[in-house]
């Protein structure tokens, strides 16, 4: 993917404008974080990028192709949710394979991808277990694994670590950084945790009430916050 471009995205739920004229270009291979307080529209924006929801106005292009009318399955992206969204009645293996089984990917290739993801995420010992028999961190790894086996051009992650305890969050943060270095895929990462954004992302998009307040590198936001809101949110002196 040579990039993702959002042009003048608007999203209304009924009379409420939740995303207000958001334009943004994400470069191939970037680790970009959407940050902002609860309710500012982070998840909505991610769902629009994923194709799980349609914008009220504006357009979305991937690799130069307009995908605004293209469904989630055909966008080449994979989403990881805060709630893991694993199937409780399936084994870890089956959870990883699900979503690939009805595609053109050959069986042997599915097996190879599962083995590769399981090794990378160190979940090999748990492949036959059900999600209910795993810890939160292990479940989160499976959720990430399920995205990895799809070989997406970009990963969309919605607060993937927010259900984990503080210690595990720090461990998983490092693992996500390593994963990004290895896969070199674009990562769009939603978090309300500014420390997480500052340590993981090469660029941060600060949202407030559905609008972009500032886009910049962590250092730019820290050293030159556009306004008091950004300064307050990033924790810089102001």
Binders of ligand ADP among 16-75, rule CB under 6 A?
A: 18, 36, 38-44
Q: Print the binding letters for residues 7-46 with Mg ion: x by CB under 5 A, - otherwise.
A: ------------------------------------x---
Question: Of 49 and 120, which CB lies nearer to ligand ADP in the complex structure?
Answer: 49
CA distances from 133 to 86, 89, 129, 136, 138 (A): 12, 11, 6, 10, 9
Position 160 contacts ligand ADP (CB under 6 A): no
In whole angstroms, the minimum distance from the beta carbon of 190 to ligand ADP comes to 6
Position 13 contacts ligand ADP (CB under 6 A): yes
In whole angstroms, the minimum distance from the beta carbon of 135 to Mg ion comes to 23
C-alpha 173/C-alpha 171 separation (Å) is: 5
In whole angstroms, the minimum distance from the beta carbon of 10 to ligand ADP comes to 13
Pairing of strands 203-208, 211-216: antiparallel
Q: What is the b/e burial string over 181-198, where b = at least 16 CB atoms within 10 angstroms of the residue's CB?
A: eeeebbbbbbbbbbebbb
Q: What is the b/e burial string over 118-154, where b = at least 16 CB atoms within 10 angstroms of the residue's CB?
A: bebbebeebbeebbeebeebbbbbbbbbbbbbbebbb
Structure tokens at 37: 């307080």
In whole angstroms, the minimum distance from the beta carbon of 190 to Mg ion comes to 6
Q: Answer whether 221's CB lies under 8 Å from 206's CB.
A: yes
In whole angstroms, the minimum distance from the beta carbon of 18 to ligand ADP comes to 4
In whole angstroms, the minimum distance from the beta carbon of 143 to Mg ion comes to 16
Q: Map tokens 């409780």 to a residue.
A: 88
Q: Print the binding letters for residues 41-70 with Mg ion: x by CB under 5 A, - otherwise.
A: --x---------------------------
Position 15 contacts ligand ADP (CB under 6 A): no
CA distances from 197 to 20, 146, 161, 172, 220 (A): 22, 23, 12, 13, 13
| Angle, vertex CA 183, rays to CA 154 and CA 40, nearest 5 | 35
**What is the total count of residues that contact ligand ADP (CB under 6 A)?**
10
What residues make contact with Mg ion under the rule CB under 5 A? Answer: 43
Q: Which residues bind ligand ADP (CB under 6 A)?
A: 13, 18, 36, 38-44
């Amino acid at each position: 993917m040579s990039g993702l471009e959002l042009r003048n995205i608007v999203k209304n739920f009924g009379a409420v404008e939740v995303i207000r004229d958001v334009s943004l270009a994400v470069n191939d291979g970037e680790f970009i974080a959407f940050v902002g307080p609860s309710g500012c529209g982070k998840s909505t924006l991610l769902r629009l990028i994923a194709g799980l929801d349609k914008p009220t106005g504006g357009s979305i292009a991937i690799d130069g192709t307009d995908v605004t009318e293209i469904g989630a399955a055909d966008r080449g992206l994979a989403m990881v949710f805060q709630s893991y969204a694993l199937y409780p009645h399936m084994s870890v293996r089956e959870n990883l394979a699900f979503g690939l089984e009805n595609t053109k990917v050959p069986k042997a290739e599915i097996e190879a991808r599962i083995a590769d993801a399981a090794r990378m995420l160190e979940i090999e010992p748990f492949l036959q277990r059900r999600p209910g028999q795993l810890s939160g961190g292990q479940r989160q790894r499976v959720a990430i694994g399920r995205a990895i086996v799809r070989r997406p051009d970009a990963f969309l992650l919605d607060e993937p670590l927010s259900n984990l305890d503080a210690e595990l969050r720090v461990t998983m943060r490092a693992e996500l950084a390593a994963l990004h270095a290895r896969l070199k895929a674009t990562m769009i990462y939603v978090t309300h945790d500014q420390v997480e954004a500052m340590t993981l992302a090469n660029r941060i998009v600060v949202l407030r009430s559905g609008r972009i307040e500032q886009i910049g590198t962590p250092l730019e936001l820290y050293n030159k916050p556009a306004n008091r809101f950004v300064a307050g949110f990033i924790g810089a002196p102001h």
